[in-house]
Structure 1
Amino acid sequence: MYAAIALVVFMCLTASTRADQHHQPCHAPNMTGFMSVLSLKGDVKAFGAFTYDSMGKKLRFRSNESHPTNTSMGLDLLMFFDEGIFYEIDSKNQSCEKKTLQCTQHPLDIPDDATFLGTVNTGSASIEGEGLKTNVWTGSMPDMKGHYSMSVTMGCLPVCTMYYHESTSFMVSITEVEVEIKDPDLLVVPACCLGQPLEETPEGTVHSFLNEFM
């Protein structure tokens, strides 16, 4: 079923886009908002608030707190993409795990090697206030043996990204975005994480933001 849904979405996108070979990937600004992760089978994998530092390449994502659901996982992740490390935080138990990031790809920024697919008008382009114009970018993910399709606004705010993997496929959508870091302290390593040793990564394991939902 989920493969059929993925095919329909892809067909809709390709039927509605206008190819253009002169676009270059843009980079999103600082952001605060909400992120939802849904499998193409219909399961809610996660929903929560995020804070993203575009210049510092830092991301905090806390799921299943303000809007808990029975099917979503509880995550508190602090990721430092330039440093190649991240923290899994358990605030309730004041514990933390420090791990290596093998892959830095995430749904809030277009990869530099992405390919421009075209432009999509969602809703009505002819009625003021009743449509949204987005650019669609695609690319492969060799580390995950899959590919993605990412939609962003003309101002480079991410809207929705589809990830297709050999064993699972899921969608990440971004809502209620504000172009600012509302709480900078969320991007600071918590006290319970300070001094934590870097855990060894088992052979064959790939740590990334996306792999948390695989």
Structure 2
Amino acid sequence: MRTIILLTLGLSALAGARAQTPHRCKSPPYLEGKLTVMYPEEKTMIFEQMYYDAFEQRIRVIAAEKDPNQTQYIDRLMLFREMIYYEISYQNQSCVKRPLGLDFTPIEIPHDAQHTAQIVLGTLSAPGQGVLVNTWVGSMPEAHANYSMTVTEFGCIPITFLYHVEKFGYIIASYYDIVVGIENPEVFVPPPFCADAKLEEQSDGRVADFFTALL
């Protein structure tokens, strides 16, 4: 009987949470985890290890990009306050340093986003078997993009972001194995062999927008 009462109270609390009006939220300032990005129109999939520091405005992605013809490996460190980024190759012990021509975009629900749904991933029939999430939609005129963002109700942890970008088409980003915090802050420090890298000023090397930089 006690178990039934506790279960009923727990489900009632979750039901009460669902009844509340969802609020726009910002993800924790430090995150690391995995990210799968799909470009359905180009049949390309990217598997990324992501490190995110909103306080110092730093992002690092270590990715394997697979398309029908080849697999390409990318290690990119983006330092937004310094407005530079590094393409790192440990295999060749080489580093390319280029200007970063965009502002830092935090993982958050934009102020003008519209809430469309609150749903449960899994089930609320028993404790620990479901996750309450919210979906928001909107547009990013500066990037010529529309988006649909799904984040957890508690913690604002990213789940799935769907973008339609004018120059890319549809992009689906799915987050998983997310950890709040950064286990090793040194991941944001360029390796020693990058110390002698010269800043390449050519315009075609400049990252133009957030999607090019992260996705």
TM-score, with length taken from structure 2: 0.74
The answer for unaligned runs of 5 or more in structure 2 is 1-17
Question: What's the counterpart of residue 113 of structure 2?
Answer: 115
Distance 1:208 1:128, change over 3 A: same
Distance 1:23 1:131, change over 3 A: same
The answer for unaligned runs of 5 or more in structure 1 is 1-16
Task: Give the CA deviation at 1:52.
Answer: 1.7
Q: Does structure 1 retain, via aligned residues, the 8 Å contact 2:35–2:175?
A: yes
Larger radius of gyration: 2
Question: What's the counterpart of residue 55 of structure 1?
Answer: 55
Q: Does structure 1 retain, via aligned residues, the 8 Å contact 2:27–2:155?
A: no
Task: Give the CA deviation at 1:142.
Answer: 2.5
Q: Does structure 2 retain, via aligned residues, the 8 Å contact 1:116–1:138?
A: yes
Q: Which moved more, 1:81-90 or 1:29-38?
A: 81-90
SS in structure 2 of the partner of residue 207 of structure 1: coil
Query: In the aligned structure 1, how far is the partner of 2:88 from the partner of 2:187?
Result: 12
TM-score, with length taken from structure 1: 0.74
Task: Give the CA deviation at 1:203.
Answer: 6.7
- Is 1:169 the equivalent of 2:167? no
Q: Does structure 2 retain, via aligned residues, the 8 Å contact 1:43–1:71?
A: no
Task: Give the CA deviation at 1:191.
Answer: 1.7
Aligned ranges 1:86-97 → 2 under 5 Å: 86-97=85-96
Q: Does structure 2 retain, via aligned residues, the 8 Å contact 1:25–1:114?
A: no
SS in structure 2 of the partner of residue 75 of structure 1: strand
Task: Give the CA deviation at 1:204.
Answer: 11
Task: Give the CA deviation at 1:36.
Answer: 1.0
Runs (4+) of structure 1 exceeding 4 A deviation are 17-20, 69-72, 203-206
SS in structure 1 of the partner of residue 72 of structure 2: coil
SS in structure 2 of the partner of residue 161 of structure 1: strand
Query: In the aligned structure 1, how far is the partner of 2:81 from the partner of 2:40?
Result: 31
Task: Identify the structure with the greater strand proportion.
Answer: 2
Distance 1:120 1:101, change over 3 A: farther
- Is 1:138 the equivalent of 2:137? yes
Q: Map Cα deviations across residues 3-43 of structure 1 (whole Å, 9 max, x no partner).
A: xxxxxxxxxxxxxx9995x7233232312211111123483
Between the two proteins, the alignment pairs up a number of residues equal to: 194
Q: Map Cα deviations across residues 108-147 of structure 1 (whole Å, 9 max, x no partner).
A: 6115445141423223234433322112233322233111
SS in structure 1 of the partner of residue 203 of structure 2: coil
